[in-house]
Structure 1
């Protein structure tokens, strides 16, 4: 299949203006009325998770079942492209970009401490800080960063890639991928509204990442440099990130995002291997094997546990929160992964995300989470007390301080944080530029000036919110946005199924299913 003819890739004001207005509408009230704005967002969050928590859970298990069924069906052989389309990136770089773009700073923040939270506040009425609580602590880390989250990421990527590379439709956006259901309305204001909501969700998701990253890196840098944490240090950290991801966005996929992702995965591997070797290796390995077995055998109950009688808040505080967070990020990841997946089959894409994405997260939690839990159980370091008194950044700093050559390791860890978040930020800016470009094909990259516009807008939002301490409302509002995204995911799945049934009505048993003429 030949690349389609070039289309106008100028800025689409129908999407750009409403999205920026919505973002400004959220941020300005927080700036002018920080307490009232935060209270309103928190109330919306409590409503979304309290009244519809069950819906997030059902959506999670439904997406997993749908993708597993799709992968093992004959449609798993469908190539996302034409007969002559080859993968644009090597398998390693492709998986590295998927993983680094999707996980970002969150994994290096939570992998150390999340099992400690579960250990001291376990599910299912288990006694806190007990042996059973320790087993559930490692298990829930694997669960919340495993199959279901990556299924949320994977679902929108398939219809988007199908629309771009099989149907050759211009427009790297969710509305185009929903054309199988929306029809001609995908080109109108309904489609523009859907894309504007997606843009808002992406910017809010980036706010969540910044809310995790800036305090963590500032804390570590203040210890390394011997300076006190301050607003100016936070701004310096943000400026360094802006410089890194702006340069990456400028150079594009092959020379920017790909290189950062490769470095990211290799550096993370070095730090993980070092921790595994210097820590209690047997405890970490056995803990991983045990937690995986426990998660697989309890996957359905964990996926659908609402505790209606005991009225525990664990499932809302953790599982619903995480599912909503992943759903909020799903459009960004779907658009980004679709763009880099030309020439792959549907089955390859599902395996890359649900298997290798999950495996990558499991390694982080098995090693870093296992190491921290061993410190807690053995009495070497009371991580739980530090978490309670000083928060996550101080706890991560204390854990890193127990490692040999702690100064060198902390420096490398800070570098990893910079690269991890930079890959997420440049992926976000790239996708935002793609969504707000009018007629961008899957064979084109958005204009550099549009990429930089979004890079600087993201940085500006970060500076404003850090100054006002308003990151928490943006993080929370991102979760609220996930609620209307659940029916959007259903529309995308429905659209994909209709296309597949129309395009491959006859049962064809071939290694790869492709449309020869590419005309639709």
Structure 2
């Protein structure tokens, strides 16, 4: 009975908190925007250093625990357990959840933004192109995936070796005990986890809807209207709710595989129609430069110049990925039973980072090769930047159509993964939550997305900023997660 009460209270309170924030944003958008921006501005100004050193520590810890520690051969579960999914399917599921729409949205646009306005270099020069790739690698490579890996590893150990609930609060059991975690402290952590997940996904779904609509307009002159966007959200909501209700082993697994197949096809096709030799040269040189400057660029927060730039890009991304950690980390943990820690780090840190590097090099190089003036025009509309780039290449419009399909599959896989996790969070960490909970969260996510898109002029960006600001404490939760991992493994090592 007590578990049921806890489930209901966590579930109800989290919904109330989320709805109140959204209503505030719709009723008094200027006040909401001012408060959210002020909170985030304060964090960037005073704690930029903290974000950089924290994310760097995640990378260092992940590399150590996976490749150099004596614990690397311990399995996430009983030592004789086997993985539930093949490596490729497991990778497809975690990659689809962890990067989502943002990878397509920024694949060409981000490098081109840096190419147009680089730090310490002339726009449109080779130095600007090098800077563009270095920063794109930094923002979408090892750092976000290490961030996800830390929480996912701690949760997977608790779930599969100790049979604890699939809740973020479970990370604290080795540190403060199960009784305290089951009290107000744990409940607060789990409520904020739900809010961060809902806010993060609502923002991404809204941006994805805009880009799908922009792509349809660019390719087929479909108008960018509320009715079209409403139709997109409703159709995709039906798809992802159905896939979520059918479970991990059916809908989510198969859609994730399809998503990665489409993504792989787009990468290969873009490589073949683009400046292939230039792409290979850029890949090798950019990887070398990224590794050469890795520590220094990872810790840059604008201490000497352009603090505003770092706040708008690097610190913003680091904070955003920390805000996504409760959702992505929990989902990765759920699908990782039976992996060794070494295999887990290879799959969660190394493989997806390499996939991101390849995508940004290909999409970015294809855009940068069109020149500075083209880049200036293309980045004026971020949702259509990729389509503008592809239109300059043979078969580009065909690939653009496939990219719209890719946006849809990323949209669906992000939404169904988050719906599954939200159902877990509001079911006391049940690893197989009920269908009604999944349906309810699926409808709520889409409803909030639509409310912010239709009811406000800048609602999605405001909610994104608010979620980042509110998620600041999760950085400390992640730090405690590293301590918890070591404590668990010291006690449980083979």
* Cα distance in 2 between the residues matched to 1:54 and 1:25: 32
1:95 matched to 2:91? The reply is yes
Which of 225, 229, 233 matches 1:234? 229
Note the 1:360-399 alignment, pairs <5 A: 360-376=355-371, 382-388=374-380, 391-399=381-389
Aligned-pair distance for 1:23? 0.6
The answer (yes or no) to whether the contact 1:8–1:439 under 8 Å persists in 2 is no
1:431 matched to 2:421? The reply is yes
- 1:78 matched residue in structure 2: 74
- 1:463 matched residue in structure 2: 450
- 2:23 matched residue in structure 1: 28
* Cα distance in 1 between the residues matched to 2:369 and 2:397: 21
- 2:238 matched residue in structure 1: 243
Aligned-pair distance for 1:312? 4.1
Which of 405, 410, 413 matches 1:420? 410
* Cα distance in 2 between the residues matched to 1:95 and 1:10: 36
Aligned-pair distance for 1:425? 0.7
* Cα distance in 2 between the residues matched to 1:373 and 1:165: 47
Which of 308, 313, 337 matches 1:313? 308
Aligned-pair distance for 1:130? 2.0
Aligned-pair distance for 1:427? 0.5
1:220 matched to 2:209? The reply is no
- 2:116 matched residue in structure 1: 120
Aligned-pair distance for 1:204? 1.2
1:111 matched to 2:107? The reply is yes
Structure 2 unaligned segments of length 5 or more: list them: none
Note the 1:499-514 alignment, pairs <5 A: 499-504=488-493, 513=494
The answer (yes or no) to whether the contact 1:211–1:475 under 8 Å persists in 2 is no
Question: Judging changes above 3 Å, is the alpha-carbon distance between structure 1 residues 411 and 75 closer, same or farther for their aligned structure 2 residues?
Answer: same
Higher mean Cα deviation, 332-341 or 306-315?
306-315
Report the aligned-residue RMSD. 1.7
Aligned-pair distance for 1:11? 8.2
The one-character-per-residue Cα deviations of 1:437-489 (angstroms, maximum 9, x if unpaired) are 1262xxx4110111111101101101101102311101111211231111111
Structure 1 unaligned segments of length 5 or more: list them: 1-6, 505-512, 514-520
Aligned-pair distance for 1:406? 3.6
The answer (yes or no) to whether the contact 1:81–1:162 under 8 Å persists in 2 is yes
- 1:269 matched residue in structure 2: 264
- 2:343 matched residue in structure 1: 348
Using structure 2 for the length normalisation, give the TM-score.
Answer: 0.96
Q: What SS does the aligned partner of 2:427 have?
A: coil
* Cα distance in 2 between the residues matched to 1:432 and 1:312: 36
* Cα distance in 1 between the residues matched to 2:433 and 2:334: 11
1:450 matched to 2:431? The reply is no
- 2:168 matched residue in structure 1: 174
* Cα distance in 1 between the residues matched to 2:50 and 2:203: 22
* Cα distance in 1 between the residues matched to 2:6 and 2:251: 22
The answer (yes or no) to whether the contact 1:30–1:37 under 8 Å persists in 2 is yes
* Cα distance in 2 between the residues matched to 1:480 and 1:189: 22
Count of aligned pairs: 489
The answer (yes or no) to whether the contact 1:112–1:365 under 8 Å persists in 2 is yes
The answer (yes or no) to whether the contact 1:10–1:437 under 8 Å persists in 2 is no
Q: What SS does the aligned partner of 2:471 have?
A: helix
